[in-house]
Structure 1
Amino acid sequence: MSYPFQIKTYEEYQRAYKRSVDDPEGFWADVASSFSWRKRWNKVLDWNFKEPHVEWFSGSKLNITENCLDRHLLNLGNKPAIIWEPNDPEEHHRVLTYRNLYDKVCQFSHVLKNNGVKKGDRVCIYMGMIPELAIAVLACARIGAIHSVIFGGFSAQSIADRLQDAKAEYIVTCDGAFRGAKDIPLKNVIDDALIACPFVKRVIVCTRTRTPVSMIKGRDVWWEDEIKKVETLGLNHFEAEEMDAEDELFILYTSGSTGKPKGVVHTCGGYMVFTAYSFVNVFQYTPGDVHFCTADIGWITGHSYILYGPLASGATTLMFEGVPTWPDAGRLWQIVDKYKVNVLYTAPTAIRSLMGFGLEPFEGTDLSSLKVLGTVGEPINEEAWHWYDEHVGKKRCPIVDTWWQTETGGILISNMAGVTPAKPAHATLPLPGVQPILVDENGVEVTGNPAAGNLCIKAPWPSIIRTTYGDHERCRQTYFSTYENLYFTGDGALRDADGNYRITGRVDDVLNVSGHRIGTAEVENAINMHAGVVESAVVGYPHDIKGQGIYAYVICQDMHTDESHMRLDILQTVSRIIGPIAKPDKIQFVSGLPKTRSGKIMRRILRKIAEGEKNNLGDTTTLLDPSVVEEIAEGKL
């Protein structure tokens, strides 16, 4: 398989970028022509950022799974589509060829249909990283149902919130999941969530851990039993549902600066085109290469660069059930060696964690198959970049430092491996079709180089967020109202003399913890649910492994409470309401919070204290009670 849109030289990049800005419709029409469409578009692009309203390839008809599966069967049918490495290295791995994957997706499409799922229905998927997760996602897309994958670390309350928001009547889950040394009881968590969701009609349960589970008659069915029914009837093919390019493909929930998670909506046509385009170009994918993205499919990285981008490109993608440090810190290197991985795409958090184990875990592994390294989820610091370059890439593998978001659907700013220049800790240059701009607090463009400002994008790319599910106004307010006619990323950035971008982190009330975005308001709401808490304020602070840690300032009803016991209670409460990923790293008990006379908490001051800047707190005279600040600074953990 060849890619007519693959950029091979820096000069080709410059030409492609210029054309994508001068003639975006012509540029993206040419890229889109490489895919299978049942009906071509009437118009390539229709947009305004005021409403916001964006349509790509309007009037066209397709099914994304025909591009991910059907069109590869003739030439790539026997080629591995998904290689699955289990959590336990002693367990046998699985390889699904494109033909195997196609057959299994068709089978499960029949299962979904037999259980009442139809086009437009929302299906919540809460599973471990097993091939059946990929099969379930693709089967939803094949029948035109909207999938909403929820990461296996979220709590029952978080799942219930998402089910209620999406009005999802169908769930696909597992009895449990393996993740490192842990067994996660997924079905039990779903059962707890469903107490608040009586509208759910069907729960399909796949066997993985053989954890004892409760199966409710009339609601719960076993995946394996449902597959047997389809096999008995000899149903192999499932005709893919015809979808409009702008029909919803999936909802993925992300944290925001308010407490309620928001459902980011991506649609079929533009998302497919951009994920495949960015996958091939950023990683410089060559047919036959093994691409290993270590993310979970519960996050956007897994959607775009384990499943849709690679499969739409006819690639071989590796799914890993476990974690990089179990049963030992050599696990990733053993996987690279075992499958002769060519592209490794992981998070700076994982790299920093593995750095702490030294070089011993590399012993006995051969990493010579690696051609490209990548990082995702947060800015990578220079020390980690150089360690990755030297010890994993042996200074011969370009590192692509990719910047993007759940809302962007695909990579927006990154060097292209070996094609455009890399610079340690810099995302570098935008992809063709992506027009970044730096603005000051008033929305005035910061021109010239070098420069610093808030990062915005001034024109749409094909996989841009279309709406937040069920609440378009929230989409407008969050991304398009801060600066007129611009998409606001929520990140700050620097631009060097050569035009390379370096992302400096969030400028809104969202934390980036181990590459996962967590809203401060969401954590505060969870802490405040504890019966003994009066009020709390949450900020981020630099963390050696996670990038950002969570620092909570908490006022208790009883100021003489046992602090160590109270800390454990609060951590348990946050785990119960959101999930373990949102647990604060530090909890400082305080008698008051720095507030303006209007009652607004000055998180800027709390952030500086958490970062250790006690002597540079700025003007505190406007506070209702400035003495609170001294007390908090004295008690810093």
Structure 2
Amino acid sequence: MVYIWSPPKDLINSANVTEFMEKNKIENYNSLVKKSQDDLKWFWGNLPDWLGLEWFRKFDEVYDTTQGIEWTKWYLNGKINISYNALDRIIKNGFGNKTAMIWYGEDGKVVKLSYIEMLEKVNKLSNYLTEIGVKKGDVISIYAPLMPETVISMYAAFRLGAIANPIFSGFAPDAVAERLKAANSKVLITSDGYYRKGKIIELKKSADEAVERSNVSLKVIVARRFEKSNIPWNDNRDIWFDDAINGKRPEFEAIETDAEDPALLMFTSGTTGNPKGAVISQIGTILQPAKEHYFNLDIKTGFSKENDILWWITDIGWMMGPWQVIGTQILGASHFSLEGALDYPNKDKVWKLIEDFKITHLGFAATAARLLKALGNEGIEKHDLSSLRAFGNTGEPIDEDTWFWVMRDVGKEQRPLINLSGGTEILGCFLLPSVVVSLKPSTLWGPGLGMSVEVYDDYGNPVRNKPGYLVATKPSPSMTRGLWKDPKRYIETYWNTFKGVWFHGDYALIDEDGYWYILGRADDVIKVAGKRIGPAELETIINAHNSVAESACIGYPDPIKGEVIVCFAIPKPGKKLNDKEINEIKNMVSTKLGKPFEPEKIIEVKDLPRTRSGKIMRRIIRDIAKEGKATISPVVENPDSVEEIKRAVSELKKLMK
């Protein structure tokens, strides 16, 4: 019997979306989604008002596709500013003393900023940036963890009409240099360093190397994390963040930007080829996160009695960083960020922080959830988690075993897991549920509001109960405005597979009951004797074995079948994958998926290459297995794992002879 989770009645009755549907006389959430897809002008045209946004000048038309769907323009002639709507508007409505941000350092240091305090610092930094010549359209790069100065810098860029370019704080200098050069950045905002598992990561040194290698002439603003910093310094170029804003006027009128003006430049991770620069508009940067926070995560606005705090375990350089910060502040809610690792210095750290700060929404990548699961349930039982109302997952498909652990062990079957999938290129989600819908294990439920998506086969036909490609058949405001200085690549990447249809690159499935699933990236799909399967389907089954902590499956060349399935699995602590366990795992797969999809080999490994946000980098595993080497992406969080995969592949080749 298939397990279906249903939301408690009190959750449904108190949900934002329930109140919205009652006001608009809409029968249920399915009907709302369909209406939002069928009538884009109704949904997107009214959404700014529903969210309480303020325009400097109201738009004339909701959207215009005269230059083709690929180049749709939104909110024609509308003038708006993200910073104004995320700060000034909240203060003007009487909620300036409410906490906007909470930051928790690995050493226990806590920084809280109210909306008033944040705006004052944003205004001071805006005045400094103006003094050094930053203008509308200039790029301000931010290479630092998700800390107060990072958020202030991003809002200051928006306030000026400049373009914020967040860069992952774990990148090596070469990767940062590549982005600075591509963006032709006017300013780099960084930090002297940060803590990670008791060690000081000296970020300024990496920033200096990146600037030197980029050959870009820019100003470097350095946020001070440590009392004493023995770091390299260039008096003609560098300035401490506090010195930059000290003595500056605390007032700065937000620039009236066009709704279509670029606000965010976010380079994709660059796991294949050069990084792609997604360009998100002012209005797209506002609407997509705020819509999903309000209707899907059920984050209450600042005007309610609730004091909602979202903690998404992420970095400012990943899409979810700006998504968290902007979405919460447009609603007048709060966001939380953590320096360092989740399990240091204590393995119950996450649960203690939820109890201490009354976190209401916890988001993660599935890998982070698996890490927490592996630490055991002692911390869950020890701490009061009653403040939690919802969970979130993104970045990779979540296996059923981990999904059940989150829902049952942590959530006590009273809180939904908002499993979402989208991308940097839309600063949000194509697929995600709302708190009012029923859920199957691991499902994303279906389309987000206003997101017209489908699953296509190879010939561009919609398919059901059969894997296919996730596509978008209509535009949405947060879709990237081309790719940074590369319009040809934009068309080739997203619009050439199916004419006039956005090809997202995910492998997806809509089951017989209408529930949607992401099965992995299309590039990761394995083809065995003409039959295709996504790695997530296999890994979900393998990870459910009581000896397996995590796994990654790839296709391995075979002269008869084309490809056979090979899986690399990390055993749980204290476990080993001997012949008995391996045979059990193979039988589990063949029983659930059929004999053709039984893995040819299962190889035990100590670790798998992954990004800091938790995504397993199957491309690296695949390249090593097929070609004997791999180009190591700068996003790899654990480079030692690459050597482990090389060892495992060597073992695999002996077994395959």
TM-score (structure 1 length as normaliser)? 0.80
Q: Secondary structure at the match of 1:190?
A: helix
Which residue pairs with 1:20 in the alignment? 36
> CA contact under 8 A between 1:85 and 1:94: conserved in structure 2?
yes
Deviation of 1:56 after TM superposition, in Å, equals 1.2
Deviation of 1:631 after TM superposition, in Å, equals 11
Of the candidates 290, 295, 299, which is equivalent to residue 314 of structure 2? Answer: 295
Summarize deviations over 1:435-465 as a string: whole Å, max 9, x none.
111111232332xx42321111101122112
1:302, 1:48 → 2: CA distance?
A: 33
CA separation of 1:346 and 1:580: change in aligned 2, threshold 3 A = closer
Which residue pairs with 1:278 in the alignment? 292
2:199, 2:317 → 1: CA distance?
A: 18
Read off the aligned partner of 2:437 and give its amino acid letter. T
1:8, 1:261 → 2: CA distance?
A: 41
Which aligned pairs between 1:62-81 and structure 2 lie closer than 5 A? Answer: 62-74=80-92, 75-81=94-100
1:159, 1:169 → 2: CA distance?
A: 14
1:51, 1:201 → 2: CA distance?
A: 37
2:253, 2:491 → 1: CA distance?
A: 37
1:24, 1:336 → 2: CA distance?
A: 38
Q: Please say which of residues 93-102 and 18-27 is displaced more in the overlay.
A: 18-27
2:656, 2:637 → 1: CA distance?
A: 24
Which residue pairs with 1:489 in the alignment? 504
Q: Secondary structure at the match of 2:27?
A: helix
Which aligned pairs between 1:586-605 and structure 2 lie closer than 5 A? Answer: 586=643
2:502, 2:297 → 1: CA distance?
A: 26
Which residue pairs with 1:85 in the alignment? 104
1:636, 1:268 → 2: CA distance?
A: 54
> CA contact under 8 A between 1:64 and 1:268: conserved in structure 2?
yes
Summarize deviations over 1:43-68 as a string: whole Å, max 9, x none.
11123796720211121001111110
Which aligned pairs between 1:508-547 and structure 2 lie closer than 5 A? Answer: 508=523
**Does 1:548 find its partner at 2:616?**
yes
1:69, 1:436 → 2: CA distance?
A: 33
Of the candidates 501, 504, 518, which is equivalent to residue 516 of structure 2? Answer: 501
Q: Secondary structure at the match of 2:425?
A: helix
Read off the aligned partner of 2:466 and give its amino acid letter. A
Q: Secondary structure at the match of 2:214?
A: coil
Which aligned pairs between 1:618-633 and structure 2 lie closer than 5 A? Answer: 633=653
Any stretches of 5+ residues in structure 1 without a counterpart? 515-538, 558-566, 591-608, 611-629
Summarize deviations over 1:459-491 as a string: whole Å, max 9, x none.
112211211101111111111111111111111
1:513, 1:580 → 2: CA distance?
A: 21
Which residue pairs with 2:189 in the alignment? 172
**Does 1:585 find its partner at 2:642?**
yes
Q: Secondary structure at the match of 2:429?
A: coil
Which residue pairs with 2:261 in the alignment? 247
Q: Secondary structure at the match of 1:411?
A: strand
Summarize deviations over 1:305-364 as a string: whole Å, max 9, x none.
2x1111111111112222211112211101100011111111111111111111223353
Deviation of 1:633 after TM superposition, in Å, equals 3.4
Deviation of 1:17 after TM superposition, in Å, equals 2.0
2:568, 2:295 → 1: CA distance?
A: 33
> CA contact under 8 A between 2:269 and 2:635: conserved in structure 1?
no
**Does 1:468 find its partner at 2:483?**
yes
1:339, 1:588 → 2: CA distance?
A: 40
1:242, 1:66 → 2: CA distance?
A: 9
> CA contact under 8 A between 2:186 and 2:219: conserved in structure 1?
yes
CA separation of 1:589 and 1:348: change in aligned 2, threshold 3 A = closer
> CA contact under 8 A between 2:365 and 2:615: conserved in structure 1?
no
**Does 1:262 find its partner at 2:262?**
no
Q: Secondary structure at the match of 1:463?
A: coil
Q: Secondary structure at the match of 2:621?
A: strand
> CA contact under 8 A between 2:82 and 2:285: conserved in structure 1?
no
Read off the aligned partner of 1:158 and give its amino acid letter. A
Which aligned pairs between 1:542-581 and structure 2 lie closer than 5 A? Answer: 548-549=616-617, 550-551=620-621, 574=632, 580=637
1:261, 1:347 → 2: CA distance?
A: 21
> CA contact under 8 A between 1:85 and 1:320: conserved in structure 2?
yes
CA separation of 1:217 and 1:631: change in aligned 2, threshold 3 A = closer
Q: Secondary structure at the match of 2:73?
A: strand
Deviation of 1:504 after TM superposition, in Å, equals 0.2
Q: Secondary structure at the match of 1:585?
A: helix
2:80, 2:384 → 1: CA distance?
A: 42
Summarize deviations over 1:245-302 as a string: whole Å, max 9, x none.
0100011111357421111110001331222111111111124222221211110011
Any stretches of 5+ residues in structure 2 without a counterpart? 1-14, 302-306, 527-533, 537-564, 571-607, 609-613
Of the candidates 23, 48, 55, which is equivalent to residue 32 of structure 1? Answer: 48
Of the candidates 146, 161, 166, which is equivalent to residue 144 of structure 1? Answer: 161
Which residue pairs with 2:611 in the alignment? none
1:208, 1:102 → 2: CA distance?
A: 21
Which residue pairs with 2:59 in the alignment? 41
Deviation of 1:502 after TM superposition, in Å, equals 0.6
1:495, 1:405 → 2: CA distance?
A: 19
Summarize deviations over 1:72-105 as a string: whole Å, max 9, x none.
113211111111211223x3x1211111111111
Read off the aligned partner of 1:100 and give its amino acid letter. E
2:503, 2:626 → 1: CA distance?
A: 37
CA separation of 1:19 and 1:262: change in aligned 2, threshold 3 A = same
> CA contact under 8 A between 1:150 and 1:298: conserved in structure 2?
yes
CA separation of 1:117 and 1:389: change in aligned 2, threshold 3 A = same
2:300, 2:452 → 1: CA distance?
A: 27
2:293, 2:16 → 1: CA distance?
A: 11
Cα root mean square deviation, aligned: 3.1
Of the candidates 391, 400, 404, which is equivalent to residue 382 of structure 1? Answer: 400
> CA contact under 8 A between 2:390 and 2:415: conserved in structure 1?
yes
> CA contact under 8 A between 1:290 and 1:340: conserved in structure 2?
yes
2:485, 2:323 → 1: CA distance?
A: 23
Of the candidates 150, 157, 162, which is equivalent to residue 133 of structure 1? Answer: 150
Read off the aligned partner of 1:22 and give its amino acid letter. D
The number of residue pairs the alignment matches comes to: 552
Of the candidates 431, 447, 450, which is equivalent to residue 448 of structure 2? Answer: 431
Which residue pairs with 2:561 in the alignment? none
**Does 1:213 find its partner at 2:231?**
yes
1:109, 1:238 → 2: CA distance?
A: 7
CA separation of 1:543 and 1:118: change in aligned 2, threshold 3 A = farther
1:59, 1:245 → 2: CA distance?
A: 7
